[in-house]
């Protein structure tokens, strides 16, 4: 946690270390490097923040105990209490003895400066806005309600916040798939906003990852063409529908060297493995927070441990529900063999007690543990890719683990207004 | 000052599971600095003890709590008796093991929660009768049951079950009954206590605001020779003047070589005045509860960081504060800004956690500073500086504090 400054040299470098690992697959090992930040070995993941905080985790614990490679934050989380358009993140200083420090997303989220930050307009997953996007703005959901965000305001926010990676504004409808007519309009708007406002990046140290829209490629042909015209200004691809990746790369092989960031929010490690095979390099994973909120400790690893020889192995669960009464007196770590802070210092009986007493520390410990499990999963994936054993590991993972996480019987933490939109007749999560 | 130090180095007293060593006495007030050694290590007095009601300090990891310098915190017997329950505590091996806390724990008796949280609790000679909050069945908390629970918890300091009555109750007869019953219950607690070799049982002085009754209670309880003594029944809405009179009257009667614990006290002014009156230990949920409402305790008073004026304030929560949150990143801290807390107060739990860390640190540091001042025999100057920071104008000093401090030789107004 040193200073918040960073210089403005264009900084992100992506290097493919090993490509086309198995025949016919786009799997690859890579390295994403930023000046002044931690280097990220890919495949890897970014943690999702809520209002700049990884839910339940204070910045010291992020530094000491969390193994995430970076954070994803949403501009719609940065608004001030008084509604303003555009949302102002760093308003002018009012206390002269504490001048505003050099701009950086770390000023805002207070995570260790070594962690790279991705900024996007909307949370992942985003709450659907009742009012659609227009030709000149998108609808965003802030803690004070729905507001609109123009591409100009977004660009100005990028210049202020200087994230390491920014996802340019895209026109995404609340329900997918859109009609062909709507898909064409999405492509047109996103194209215009990118060309008129976002290119080139307002700050050299911010790398733009161009969104690939979740519509058939022919319907976004013009937009993709714009991307190809600006090879030096587009540093990566942001995929809302990663299944398009193989045909996109077949169509435009010049895009292949760019890092590929998945924004489709897969909900299981099985889904992650499938997306990896399509060639995804990095993920933003909201499911980690959700599994922790459900009181479930993840128990999977990659490659899966070999079953004892000669036994017919049953499928193993992806996690255990620590709210289940069977853990009341268990002194076992949250997951056997785990060395994370939560497992090294505490046991299931405590986690169970905290969940059943609705003490906030329960979710904190689960977050520390679950992020450690996912970080280890990706480390295992990279190692297998290096050794050429990924396909075998992925096959055994698919067979060896159940398809979904256990639901989790515990009460969830209280949900806040900006996290969910209460609709008629539907009750808010938790006791809110 | 030299005399005080020399005297102190020779004064200590031990019981089976507690050693009390008087390090220094203020030459003006009745403030003392001491070391209390408990089964899980020594603690420096005077001290503030944060409250980890359900075996967790409101979102902080035990490691974070440790980073504030805390070596003695509270658990509530009533809550742990309900969750995780006595059978789990026995199976796990006590509350230290349950929460991964290798330092000291203090537990209350559970009686206060019975009366404050539950309606229809009635007190008889046998114990406190109440309806189970789970299923409404009638239950009874006796002195024996409270001690049995606290033995299962394994706290380093256990509190006797007492008959608590709001101090403002006008019913003298009932107040006397409660005081006398508390003495009888103390005897039952002592008899029921299974681990006097590794757990300390403290008595609780009762008697409302009637100083005579308080004195009688002190006399009866001091005769029982518990390793430490608490002054109970306060912080229940009585006038601050009355509170100070009770603390002052009790500390005068209590043996010098035992720790004195004023229960449920937590505002910074109350701590400083109580230390001047000769008290050593305090606990209160206020600093951690108010943190969750976005309030930061600072030497210049309480700041509500939810106010719009802090939205763009990139200074630390408190200038010069040494806590993990306020220390700049270059010094190994988090460099948390008021703007960060403002943005997330009452929204993301992480903001509550950092304020909890800060407020606990503030309270502990206040007592550490007081202790250093006592040892240097500069406590009166410490008290003056403390009130000077809190109230820019002397005429704003609370009169109860001015009056109470006068009784121990500090005049805040004329100096």
Tokens at B128, concatenated: 């406190």
Say if CB B45 and CB B32 are below 8 A apart: yes
Residue of A nearest to B353 (CA): A58
pLDDT band per the 50, 70, 90 thresholds, residue A432: very low
- Answer yes or no: do B59 and A341 touch at CB < 8 A: no
Quickly list DSSP for B134-190.
Answer: TT--EEEE-HHHHHHHHHHHT-SEEE-------TT---HHHHHHHHHHHHHHHHHHH
Residues of B in contact with A107 (CB under 8 A): 314, 337
Domain architecture of chain A: domains with CATH:
13-285 (3.20.20.105), 295-419 (no CATH)
Residue B247: Cβ within 10 Å count:
25
- Answer yes or no: do A357 and B54 touch at CB < 8 A: yes
- The distance of A100 to chain B (nearest Cα, Å) reads 6
Say if CB A129 and CB A423 are below 8 A apart: no
Does A78 show up as a binding residue in the annotation? Answer: no
Distance (Å) of CA A101 to CA A106, A160, A351: 11, 11, 39
Average pLDDT over residues A374-389: 96
- The distance of A265 to chain B (nearest Cα, Å) reads 22
List the single best residue of A53, A343, A345, A351 to mutate versus B (max B Cβ within 10 A).
A53
Of the listed ranges A158-162, A285-289, B153-157, the least confidently predicted one is: A158-162
- Answer yes or no: do B88 and A349 touch at CB < 8 A: yes
SS3 B344: helix
Residues in chain B: 415
Place of tokens 């900024």: A119
Q: Which of A2, A92, A353 is opposite residue B98, by nearest beta carbon?
A: A353
pLDDT computed for residue A310 by the predictor: 61
Residues of A in contact with B311 (CB under 8 A): 80-81, 91
Res. A312: pLDDT tops 50: yes
pLDDT band per the 50, 70, 90 thresholds, residue A202: confident
Does A323 show up as a binding residue in the annotation? Answer: no
A-B CB pairs within 8 A amount to 154
Which is more confidently placed, A179 or B8?
A179
Residues of A in contact with B66 (CB under 8 A): none
Q: Which of these, B344, B305, B338, B200, lies nearest to B261 by C-alpha position?
A: B200
pLDDT computed for residue A431 by the predictor: 38
Say if CB A7 and CB A205 are below 8 A apart: yes
- Answer yes or no: do B314 and A354 touch at CB < 8 A: no
- The distance of A198 to chain B (nearest Cα, Å) reads 27
pLDDT computed for residue A386 by the predictor: 93
Task: Give every CB contact of residue A134 below 8 A, 6+ residues apart in sequence.
Answer: A148
Residues of B in contact with A360 (CB under 8 A): 56, 58-59, 349, 352-353
Can B171 be counted among the known catalytic residues?
no
What region does B57 belong to: left with phi over 0, alpha with psi -120 to 50, or beta?
Answer: beta
Q: Which of A4, A331, A361 is opposite residue B59, by nearest beta carbon?
A: A361
SS3 B43: strand
CA distance A371 to B350: 16
CA distance B221 to A367: 48
- The distance of A133 to chain B (nearest Cα, Å) reads 27
Paired with A31 in beta bridges are A15, A41
pLDDT computed for residue B132 by the predictor: 78
CA distance B382 to A91: 39
pLDDT digits (tens, 9 = 90+) for A130-176: 888 999 999 998 887 888 899 998 988 888 788 899 999 999 988 88
Residue A216: Cβ within 10 Å count:
14
Instruction: Name, of A8-12, A61-65, A399-403, B114-118, the range with top average pLDDT.
Output: A399-403
CA distance A320 to A218: 44
Say if CB B167 and CB B112 are below 8 A apart: no
- Answer yes or no: do A354 and B56 touch at CB < 8 A: yes
Which is more confidently placed, A204 or B253?
B253
Residue of B nearest to A101 (CA): B314
Phi, psi of A264 (to 5 degrees): -90, 0
SS3 B262: strand
CA distance B216 to B207: 8
Q: Which of B156, B163, B270, B283 is catalytic?
A: B283
Helix axes B349-375, B268-276, angle to 10 degrees: 20
Q: What percent of chain B has pLDDT over 70?
A: 96
- Answer yes or no: do B353 and A58 touch at CB < 8 A: yes
- The distance of A353 to chain B (nearest Cα, Å) reads 6
List the single best residue of A60, A292, A325 to mutate versus B (max B Cβ within 10 A).
A60
Does B323 show up as a binding residue in the annotation? Answer: yes
Can B283 be counted among the known catalytic residues?
yes
The single-letter DSSP state of residue B83 is I
ipTM of the complex model: 0.95
Res. A2: pLDDT tops 70: no
pLDDT computed for residue A306 by the predictor: 82
CA distance A324 to B196: 36
List the single best residue of A49, A58, A106, A355 to mutate versus B (max B Cβ within 10 A).
A58
Say if CB B247 and CB B188 are below 8 A apart: no
SS3 B246: helix
Does B326 show up as a binding residue in the annotation? Answer: yes
Residues of B in contact with A327 (CB under 8 A): none
Place of tokens 């949900």: A415
- Answer yes or no: do B64 and A58 touch at CB < 8 A: yes
- The distance of B229 to chain A (nearest Cα, Å) reads 31
Res. A99: pLDDT tops 60: no
- The distance of A139 to chain B (nearest Cα, Å) reads 21
Place of tokens 């159940």: A402
- Answer yes or no: do A1 and B335 touch at CB < 8 A: yes
Q: Which of B54, B97, B329 is opposite residue A359, by nearest beta carbon?
A: B54
Residues of A in contact with B88 (CB under 8 A): 328-329, 349, 353
Q: Which of B87, B108, B241, B411 is catalytic?
A: B108
- Answer yes or no: do A98 and B56 touch at CB < 8 A: no
Strands A117-120 and A165-166: parallel
pLDDT computed for residue A87 by the predictor: 37
- Answer yes or no: do A97 and B64 touch at CB < 8 A: no
pLDDT computed for residue B313 by the predictor: 83
Residue of A nearest to B354 (CA): A58
Paired with B48 in beta bridges are B282
Residue B16: Cβ within 10 Å count:
12
- Answer yes or no: do A61 and B64 touch at CB < 8 A: yes
- Answer yes or no: do B314 and A95 touch at CB < 8 A: yes
pTM of the model: 0.93
Residues of B in contact with A53 (CB under 8 A): 344, 348, 350-351
Place of tokens 């070594």: A114
Q: Which of B83, B91, B357 is opposite residue A329, by nearest beta carbon?
A: B91
Alpha-carbon torsion, ordered A285, A356, B341, B285, to 10 deg: -170
pLDDT computed for residue A90 by the predictor: 42
Average pLDDT over residues A15-19: 91
Average pLDDT over residues A200-212: 89
pLDDT computed for residue A92 by the predictor: 36
pLDDT digits (tens, 9 = 90+) for A55-84: 999 999 998 999 889 999 998 887 664 433
Res. A330: pLDDT tops 50: yes
- Answer yes or no: do A413 and B349 touch at CB < 8 A: yes
pLDDT computed for residue A105 by the predictor: 67
Say if CB A268 and CB A318 are below 8 A apart: yes
- Helix extents (H) in B193-314: 211-222, 240-253, 268-276, 286-292
- Answer yes or no: do A108 and B54 touch at CB < 8 A: no
Q: Which of B83, B313, B350 is opposite residue A58, by nearest beta carbon?
A: B350
Does B399 show up as a binding residue in the annotation? Answer: no
Residue of B nearest to A4 (CA): B329
pLDDT band per the 50, 70, 90 thresholds, residue A289: very high
Residues of B in contact with A56 (CB under 8 A): 59, 349-350
What is the 3-state secondary structure of chain A?
CCCCCCCCCCCCEEEEEECCCCCCCCCCEEEEECCCCCCEEECEEEEECECCECCCCCHHHHHHHCCCCCEEEEHHHHCCCCCCCCCCCCCCCCCCCCCCCCCCHHHHHCCCCCCCEEEECCCCCCCCCCCCCCCCCEEEEECCEEEEECHHHHHHHHHHHCCCEECCCCCCCCCCCCCHHHHHHHHHHHHHHHHHHHCCCCCCCCEEEEEECCCCHHHHHHHHHHHHHCCCCCCEEEECCHHHHHHHHHHCHHHCCCCEEECCCCCCHHHHHHHHHHCCCEEECCHHHHHHHCCEEECCCCCCCCCCCCCCCCCECCEEECCCHHHCCCCCCCCCCCCCHHHHHCCHHHHHHHHHCCCCHHHHHHHHHHHHHHHHHHHHHHHHHHHCCHHHHHHHHHHHECCCCCCCCCCCCCCCCCCCCCCCCCCCCCCC
Average pLDDT, chain B: 93
Does B70 show up as a binding residue in the annotation? Answer: no
Distance (Å) of CA A275 to CA A43, A211, A289, A372, A377: 11, 17, 20, 21, 14
- The distance of A337 to chain B (nearest Cα, Å) reads 18
Phi, psi of A176 (to 5 degrees): -120, 150
Tokens at A25, concatenated: 């697959």
Does B110 show up as a binding residue in the annotation? Answer: yes
- Answer yes or no: do A61 and B61 touch at CB < 8 A: yes
pLDDT computed for residue A102 by the predictor: 57
Chain centroid to Cα A138, Å, comes to 21
Tokens at A333, concatenated: 């770590």
């Amino acid at each position: 946690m040193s200073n918040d400054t960073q210089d403005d040299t264009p900084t992100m470098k992506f290097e493919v270390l090993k490509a086309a690992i198995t025949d016919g697959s786009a799997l690859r090992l890579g390295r994403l490097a930023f000046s002044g930040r931690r280097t990220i070995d890919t495949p890897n993941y970014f943690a999702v923040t809520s209002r700049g905080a990884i839910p339940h985790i204070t910045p010291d614990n992020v530094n000491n105990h969390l193994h995430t490679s970076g954070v994803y934050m949403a501009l719609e989380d940065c608004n001030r209490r008084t509604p303003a358009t555009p949302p102002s993140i760093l308003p002018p200083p009012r206390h002269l003895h504490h001048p505003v420090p050099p701009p950086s997303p770390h000023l805002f989220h207070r995570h260790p400066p070594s962690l790279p930050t991705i900024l996007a307009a909307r949370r992942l997953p985003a709450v659907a806005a009742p009012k659609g996007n227009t030709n000149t703005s998108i609808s965003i959901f802030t803690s004070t309600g729905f507001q609109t965000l123009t591409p100009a305001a977004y660009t100005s926010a990028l210049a202020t916040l200087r994230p390491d990676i920014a996802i340019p504004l895209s026109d995404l409808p609340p329900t997918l798939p859109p009609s062909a007519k709507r898909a064409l309009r999405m492509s047109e708007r996103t194209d215009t906003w990118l060309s008129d406002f976002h290119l080139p990046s307002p700050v050299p140290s911010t790398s733009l990852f161009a969104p690939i829209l979740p519509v058939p490629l022919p319907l976004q042909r013009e937009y993709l063409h714009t991307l190809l015209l600006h090879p030096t200004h587009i540093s990566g691809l942001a995929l809302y529908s990663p299944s398009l990746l193989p045909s996109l790369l077949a169509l435009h092989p010049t895009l292949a060297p760019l890092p590929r960031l998945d924004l489709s929010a897969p909900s299981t490690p099985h889904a992650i493995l499938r997306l990896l095979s399509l060639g995804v390099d990095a993920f933003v994973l909201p499911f980690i927070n959700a599994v922790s909120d459900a009181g479930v400790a993840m128990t999977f690893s990659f490659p899966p441990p070999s079953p004892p020889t000669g036994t017919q192995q049953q499928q193993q669960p992806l996690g255990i529900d620590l709210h289940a009464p069977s853990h009341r007196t268990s002194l076992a770590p949250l997951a056997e063999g785990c060395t994370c802070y939560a497992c090294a210092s505490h046991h299931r009986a405590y986690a169970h007690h905290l969940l059943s007493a609705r003490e906030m520390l329960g979710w904190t410990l689960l977050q520390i543990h679950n992020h450690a499990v996912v970080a280890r999963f990706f480390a295992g994936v990279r190692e297998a890719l290096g050794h050429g054993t990924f396909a075998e590991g992925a096959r055994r993972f698919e067979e060896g683990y159940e398809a979904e996480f256990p639901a989790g019987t515990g009460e969830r933490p209280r949900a806040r207004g900006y996290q969910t939109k209460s609709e008629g007749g539907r009750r808010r999560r938790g006791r809110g | 000052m030299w005399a005080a130090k020399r005297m102190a180095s020779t004064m200590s007293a031990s019981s089976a599971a507690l050693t009390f060593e008087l390090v220094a006495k203020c030459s003006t007030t009745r403030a003392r600095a001491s070391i209390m050694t408990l089964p899980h290590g020594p603690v420096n007095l005077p001290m503030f003890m944060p409250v980890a009601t359900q075996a967790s300090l409101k979102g902080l990891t035990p490691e974070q709590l440790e980073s504030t310098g805390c070596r003695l915190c509270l658990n509530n017997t009533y809550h742990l008796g309900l969750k995780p329950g006595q059978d789990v505590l026995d199976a796990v091996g006590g509350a230290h093991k349950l929460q991964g806390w290798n330092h000291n724990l203090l537990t209350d008796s559970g009686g206060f929660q019975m009366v404050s949280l539950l309606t229809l609790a009635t007190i008889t000679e046998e114990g406190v009768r109440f309806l189970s909050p789970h299923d409404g069945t009638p239950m009874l908390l006796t002195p024996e049951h409270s001690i049995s629970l606290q033995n299962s918890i394994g706290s380093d300091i256990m509190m006797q079950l007492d008959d608590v009555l709001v101090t403002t109750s006008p019913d003298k007869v009932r107040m006397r009954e409660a005081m006398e019953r508390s003495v009888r219950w103390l005897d039952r607690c002592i008899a029921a206590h299974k681990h006097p070799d590794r757990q300390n049982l403290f008595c609780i002085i009762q008697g409302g605001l009637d100083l005579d009754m308080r004195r009688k209670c002190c006399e009866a309880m001091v005769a029982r020779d518990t390793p430490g003594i608490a002054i109970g029944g306060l912080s229940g809405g009585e006038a601050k003047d009355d509170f100070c009179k009770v603390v002052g009257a009790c500390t005068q009667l209590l043996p010098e070589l035992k720790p004195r614990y004023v229960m449920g006290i937590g505002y910074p002014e109350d701590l400083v005045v109580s230390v001047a009156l000769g008290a050593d230990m305090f606990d209160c949920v206020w600093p951690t509860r108010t943190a969750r409402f976005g309030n930061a305790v600072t030497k210049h008073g309480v700041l509500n960081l939810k106010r719009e004026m802090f939205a763009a304030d990139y200074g630390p929560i408190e200038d010069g504060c040494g806590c993990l949150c306020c220390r700049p990143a270059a010094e190994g801290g988090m460099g948390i800004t008021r703007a960060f807390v403002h943005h997330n107060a009452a929204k993301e739990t992480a903001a509550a956690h950092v304020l909890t860390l800060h407020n606990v640190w503030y309270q502990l540091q206040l007592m550490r500073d007081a202790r250093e001042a006592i040892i240097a025999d500069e406590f009166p100057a410490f008290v003056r500086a403390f009130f000077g920071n809190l109230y820019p104008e002397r005429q704003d000093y609370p009169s109860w504090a001015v009056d109470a401090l006068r009784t121990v030789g500090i005049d805040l107004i004329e100096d």
